[in-house]
Structure formats: C-alpha cells, structure tokens
C-alpha cells in the first residue's frame, strides 16, 4: 500500500465475485464507503444486494476479490471471523430476534458474552439504547409480544449495542406492514444523523433518496450506476437504471 | 321465545343425545367383552390365580414399598440421561473437520446403544463390570442398573435433542454469529435453549419408557418391584401380585402421559400464536 493523504475508507470492496453453484450472483463488485457515509443499494430482487451484505459480514465465503475494513483485509484466509463480525453489525429482513430471551437479554447478550462487559453495565447500556429509541417500556417483554416494527427496531438496537464501525441493513422494512415502516425508517434516519456508517439494501426508493449520500444500482451482479441520489433518481445515465426506475414508478412506489 | 333461545336449546339437546350415545356404546362394547371373558371355560381358574382379593391386599404394601427401588433407579437415570443425552447431541452437532472423530464416536454410540436390547446391556454391565475386578465387588448392583439404563436411554434422548437442535432455524445461528458470538456461544446461548424447550414432550415420552424398563434391572439381582412380585407369587402360588405391579405402573405413568399431552397442546397453541 502506498501512503495517501486521503483517509482510509471505512469499507473497500475490490473485484468481489460470488457464485452459488453455477449461478454467478456477484461478478466484480467495486465499492468504497467512507466513514459516516450512508450508501443505499437499490436493484431488483435477485440482483445480489443481500448476497453482497452477507459477504461483507462473512456469512457467505467469497470466490474472488477482497473486502477491506478500515485498512484491514477481512477476506484474508487467516482472519479471525468472530473478531471481524464484532465490528460489523447486520440487521436482517426477518429481524431474527432470539425468541427465548427478553428484549433486554437480546440486546445485552453479545456485549456480555463477546466483549465480556459485566451484566449490569451491559444491561444499563441496553436500557439507554432502548430509551433513546422509545422502547424502554418493552425491555422485559419477549419478542413475540412486540409488533413487527418494534421487533425490527430491537434488532437494530441489538446490532448497535456492539458499537459497530459499520452497519449493514438488509431490506429491514420489507417484512413490515406499511404503517410500521415509518418507525423503523425513523431509527435509521437518526443513526444517519449521528454519523453511523451504513450500507443499506432497500426497496424504499423515497427513503433511499432522502437518506443516502450515494445510491448504487445493482444489476446482474455488478454496480451498474452509482452517484448522488438526486442524480441517480432524476437523471440516471444508464439505460438499465432508467428501465428499473420506470418500473418502480409504474408500480407507484416512487 | 326467540330464535337464539330455540337454537341454544336445540344445541343442548344434541349434546345430551351425543353423550348418551357414547355411554350406551361404551357399556355395550365392554359388556360384551366382559361377558366373553367371564364365560370362557378357564375363567374360574384364571380369576382365582390372577385376581385373588386376599392375595392382592396382602401383597400390595410390600409391592409399593419395593417400588421405591424403581423410583431411585429412574430418578437417578433420568437426571443422568438429561445431561449425558445433551452432551452426545452437542458432540454430534459440533461443526468442523477437526471434530470428525468426536462426531464419529458420538454417532457410533447413539447407533449402537439404540440397537442393543436394554436387558442385554443390563446383563453385560451387571455381570461384566464386577468380573473385571477393578471395582469393589460389594458395589450394589443397582448402580450397574442405573448405568445401563443411562447408557441405553441417553442414546434415544440424544436423538431427541438433536432433532430439537436441527429444528432451530439457521437464521437464529446466523444472527448470533453476526453479533460476534462464536460457534460454541451461539450453540450454548441461542440454539440449545430453544431446542430444549421444544423437545420436552418427546423427552417425557422416553422417560415413560425408562420408568417401565426399570423392572429389567431385577435380572441382575436388584430386588425391586418386579422381583418382589415374583417372590410373592412363588410364596403364594398365585399371580395376583403381578396385577398389583401393573396397578402401580398405571397409576404412576398415566399422570405423566397426560402431563405430556398438556405440554404438547401448549406447544401447538404457541405455534399457532405465531411464535417463530
């Protein structure tokens, strides 16, 4: 690496390729995310958005290329997967809360077991986070007592409790009833305002336009177009981006 | 009189008629069966040798007292089975090529001890271990019985646990791992607790089997309920003591079976309630 005056990006992806069997899902992704930047990934279902996020969190092994977090290559063969995952939070479409634990335990589990934070301290931190996002009264409830929107907010808080350098959000509103989407988007908006570095796969085009510093349109396993939201949504350069956005507009979703 | 009242009265009439029909058919079926048995040519002889009231009354206190040996057997074995079965299930679920020998041993254990008849294991351990000359020859044989039952039933129960572990959706493990928990931590704090909750009903089912199999330990010289009945049968030249044994097991097992049903019904309600 040559020394460079520019700050090291929070996330660098170079030539990332991933296939499932004979199906090539990602074919050469190049993407940099700066610290405090919010990048939204848009694209049709099956374009590889989720797979990209899962590769960054090392849930899926990659075939080629490299992923670098703050200067450290996390796709190196000898890397400690658990240590890397502590620094990257991911929130899933289906929340995946632990049903046998209270909200508080869901949030405090990883800080206690992974970071060895004493129980009282971990629970106090969890309570502060719940308070901040208006869920303090739910701290002793079990996940099945919460609405989908509340569960997804808890899932985001659970990821935040590990104080990650980077937060990956994988279609976090896609499983929610329309009236519950706003409360989850509100949480993400607040995180963006607080400077959290985020990579967000989403179908909520209006939201992406509002919150993103940069929008990347994924198509057939490559980033087809990338730019500021106003440019990508109002004046897309690539015909495939135009086509995709036209379908979204026709469906009344932008 | 309004329509609602009329409908309610009609429903009540129908319910009453259904109950009376059920009662009548039960009386007829069991009446006919009883009539056939009672009129069988050998009935008087069978009645006096299996259903002698006096012998029954005389045998029952001793039989019940001997049942405490069986209680010791199954309580000790059940506690050990709960632990050992889980250990085997976890060993079979440990991922990674390095642990292949561990998985192999755990798998072989579960396969072999499910294949072997329980009585055979009790015999081999009960007579074989003392023969080795490594343990105190005065070791009470009940300990070999507990060991044998633990080995046999842990093999079954490990499969029950394993099914429970595999029934926990992979997304739960993915969520735990994505938070930085290690494989072991995810298993310990996320997967196994959910698995254990799900397998309580089938586990109790195996315990009903274990409780009944405690009578097999009579074969290595433990004077428990069945051996006591044999002794009383030989003394009285009458099989009625076995009927007392049957009664004791029925009285103990049926509440456990009903309790299992209640748990299964509860699980089903929770599943219907949309628990993930």
- pLDDT single digits (tens) B187-241: 999 999 999 888 988 898 899 999 999 999 999 989 999 999 999 999 989 999 9
Q: Taking the CB of residue B52, how many other CB atoms lie within 10 A of it?
A: 18
Confidence grade of residue B4 (pLDDT, cut at 50, 70, 90): confident
- Which chain B residues are closer than 8 Å to A82 by Cβ? 177, 180-182
> Among partner residues A57, A92, A99, which is closest to B275 by beta-carbon distance?
A99
Q: Hey, is the C-beta of B274 within 8 angstroms of any chain A C-beta?
A: yes
Amino acid B274: pLDDT: 42
| pLDDT for residue A4 is more than 60 | no
| pLDDT for residue B86 is more than 70 | yes
Q: Hey, is the C-beta of A127 within 8 angstroms of any chain B C-beta?
A: no
* Residue A68 contacts residue A45 (beta carbons within 8 Å): no
| pLDDT for residue B268 is more than 80 | no
Q: Hey, is the C-beta of A158 within 8 angstroms of any chain B C-beta?
A: yes
* Residue A135 contacts residue A103 (beta carbons within 8 Å): yes
Amino acid B271: pLDDT: 58
Amino acid B275: pLDDT: 42
Amino acid B276: pLDDT: 39
> Among partner residues B171, B180, B274, which is closest to A114 by beta-carbon distance?
B180
**Nearest CA-CA partner of B157 in B195, B212, B128:** B195
- Which chain A residues are closer than 8 Å to B177 by Cβ? 59, 82, 85
| pLDDT for residue B157 is more than 70 | yes
Q: Hey, is the C-beta of A178 within 8 angstroms of any chain B C-beta?
A: no
Give the pLDDT mean for B233-259: 91
Q: How far apart are CA A197 and CA A35, in angstroms?
A: 6
Q: How far apart are CA B229 and CA B233, in angstroms?
A: 6
From chain B residues 186-245, the ones with a CB under 8 A of any chain A CB are 189-190, 193-194, 197
Q: Hey, is the C-beta of A146 within 8 angstroms of any chain B C-beta?
A: no
Give the percent of chain B with pLDDT over 90.
71
Buried b (16+ CB within 10 A) or exposed e, B153-192: bbbbbbbbbbebbeebeeebbbbbbbbbbbbebbbebbbb
**Nearest CA-CA partner of B146 in B206, B76, B82, B216:** B76
- Residue B161, strand partner residues: none
Q: Hey, is the C-beta of A207 within 8 angstroms of any chain B C-beta?
A: no
Q: Which residue from A minimizes the CA distance to B178?
A: A85
More confident residue, B263 or B176: B176
- Which chain A residues are closer than 8 Å to B194 by Cβ? 98-100
**What is the DSSP track for A136-163?**
GGGTTS-GGGS-HHHHHHHHHHHHHTT-
Q: Hey, is the C-beta of A144 within 8 angstroms of any chain B C-beta?
A: yes
Q: Which residue from B minimizes the CA distance to A108?
A: B179
> Among partner residues A59, A82, A143, which is closest to B174 by beta-carbon distance?
A59
- Residue A198, strand partner residues: A38, A167
Burial tier of A203 (Cβ tally within 10 Å: 0-12, 13-18, 19+): middle
**Nearest CA-CA partner of A98 in B181, B83, B263, B94:** B181
| Sequence-separated (6 or more) residues with CB below 8 Å from residue A115 | A86, A162
Please tell me the distance in Å from A110's CA to the nearest CA on chain B: 6
- Which chain A residues are closer than 8 Å to B273 by Cβ? 144
Confidence grade of residue B1 (pLDDT, cut at 50, 70, 90): low
Give the pLDDT mean for B99-107: 93
Q: For the packed helices B225-236 and B53-93, what is the interaxial angle rounded to 10 degrees?
A: 160
* The two three-digit tokens of residue A159, written as one number: 């990821």
Amino acid A6: pLDDT: 66
Give the pLDDT mean for A121-133: 94
List pLDDT tens digits, range A39-91. 999 998 888 899 999 999 998 889 999 999 988 899 888 888 888 898 999 99
> First CA to last CA across chain B, in angstroms?
49
How far is it between the farthest Cα atoms of chain B? Answer: 89
List pLDDT tens digits, range A150-179. 999 999 999 999 999 999 999 988 888 888
Please tell me the distance in Å from B183's CA to the nearest CA on chain A: 9
From chain A residues 88-107, the ones with a CB under 8 A of any chain B CB are 88-90, 92, 94, 96-100
Whole-Å CA distances, B40 to B27, B34, B240: 20, 10, 19
Total-model pTM: 0.81
Give the pLDDT mean for B80-104: 90
Confidence grade of residue A127 (pLDDT, cut at 50, 70, 90): very high
Please tell me the distance in Å from A184's CA to the nearest CA on chain B: 19
- Which chain B residues are closer than 8 Å to A60 by Cβ? none
> Among partner residues A94, A100, A110, which is closest to B179 by beta-carbon distance?
A110
| pLDDT for residue B64 is more than 90 | yes
Q: Hey, is the C-beta of B271 within 8 angstroms of any chain A C-beta?
A: no
- Looking at every residue in chain B, the average pLDDT score rounds to 90
More confident residue, A21 or B80: B80
Chains A, B: CB contacts under 8 A, how many?
Answer: 64
Q: Taking the CB of residue A36, how many other CB atoms lie within 10 A of it?
A: 13
Q: Hey, is the C-beta of B171 within 8 angstroms of any chain A C-beta?
A: yes
* Residue A98 contacts residue A109 (beta carbons within 8 Å): yes
* The two three-digit tokens of residue B123, written as one number: 């015999």
* Most A CBs within 10 Å, among B167, B169, B175, B272, to test the A interface: B175
Confidence grade of residue B103 (pLDDT, cut at 50, 70, 90): very high
Confidence grade of residue A146 (pLDDT, cut at 50, 70, 90): very high
- Which chain A residues are closer than 8 Å to B182 by Cβ? 82
């Amino acid at each position: 690496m040559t020394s460079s005056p520019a700050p090291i990006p929070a996330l660098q992806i170079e030539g990332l390729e991933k296939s499932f069997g004979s199906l090539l899902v990602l074919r050469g992704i190049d993407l940099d995310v700066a610290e405090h930047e919010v990048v939204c990934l848009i694209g049709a279902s099956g374009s590889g958005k989720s797979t990209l996020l899962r590769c960054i969190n090392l849930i899926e092994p990659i075939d080629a290329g490299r992923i670098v977090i703050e200067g450290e290559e996390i796709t190196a063969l000898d890397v400690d997967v658990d240590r890397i995952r502590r620094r990257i939070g991911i929130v899933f479409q289906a929340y995946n809360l632990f049903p046998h634990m209270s909200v508080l335990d869901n949030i405090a589990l990883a800080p206690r077991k992974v970071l060895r934070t004493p129980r009282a301290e971990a629970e106090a931190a969890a309570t502060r986070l719940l308070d901040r996002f208006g869920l303090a009264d739910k701290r002793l409830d079990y996940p099945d007592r919460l609405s989908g929107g509340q569960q997804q907010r808890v899932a985001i808080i659970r990821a935040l409790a590990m104080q990650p350098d980077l937060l990956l959000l994988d279609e976090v509103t896609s499983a929610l009833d329309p009236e519950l989407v706003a409360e989850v988007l509100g949480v993400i908006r607040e995180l963006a305002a607080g400077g959290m570095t985020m990579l967000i796969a989403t179908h909520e085009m209006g939201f992406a336009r509002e919150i993103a510093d940069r929008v990347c349109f994924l198509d057939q396993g490559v980033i087809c177009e990338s730019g500021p939201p106003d440019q990508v949504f109002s004046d897309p350069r690539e015909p495939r981006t135009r086509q995709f956005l036209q379908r979204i507009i026709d469906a009344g979703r932008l | 009189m309004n329509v609602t009242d009329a409908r309610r009265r009609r429903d009540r009439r129908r319910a009453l008629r259904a109950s009376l029909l059920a009662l009548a058919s039960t009386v007829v079926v069991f009446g006919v069966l009883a009539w056939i048995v009672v009129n069988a040519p050998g009935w008087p002889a069978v009645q006096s040798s299996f259903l002698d009231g006096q012998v029954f009354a005389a045998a029952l206190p001793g039989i019940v007292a001997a049942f405490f040996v069986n209680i010791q057997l199954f309580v000790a074995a059940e506690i050990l089975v709960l632990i050992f079965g889980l250990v085997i299930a976890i060993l079979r679920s440990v991922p990674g090529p390095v642990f292949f020998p561990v998985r192999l041993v755990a798998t072989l254990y579960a396969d072999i001890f499910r294949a072997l008849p329980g009585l055979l294991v009790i015999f081999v351990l009960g007579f074989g271990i003392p023969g080795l000359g490594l343990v105190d020859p005065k070791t009470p044989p009940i300990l070999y019985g507990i060991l044998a039952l633990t080995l046999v039933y842990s093999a079954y129960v490990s499969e029950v646990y394993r099914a429970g572990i595999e029934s926990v959706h992979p997304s739960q493990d993915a969520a735990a791992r994505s938070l930085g928990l290690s494989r072991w931590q995810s298993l310990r704090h996320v997967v196994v607790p959910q698995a254990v909750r799900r397998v309580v009903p089938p586990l109790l089912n195996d315990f009903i089997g274990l409780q009944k199999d405690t009578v097999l330990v009579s074969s290595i010289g433990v004077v428990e309920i069945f051996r006591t009945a044999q002794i009383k049968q030989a003394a009285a030249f009458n099989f009625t003591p076995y009927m007392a044994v049957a009664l004791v097991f029925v009285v103990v097992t049926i509440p456990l079976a009903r309790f299992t049903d209640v748990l299964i019904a509860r699980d089903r309600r929770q599943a219907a309630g949309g628990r993930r």
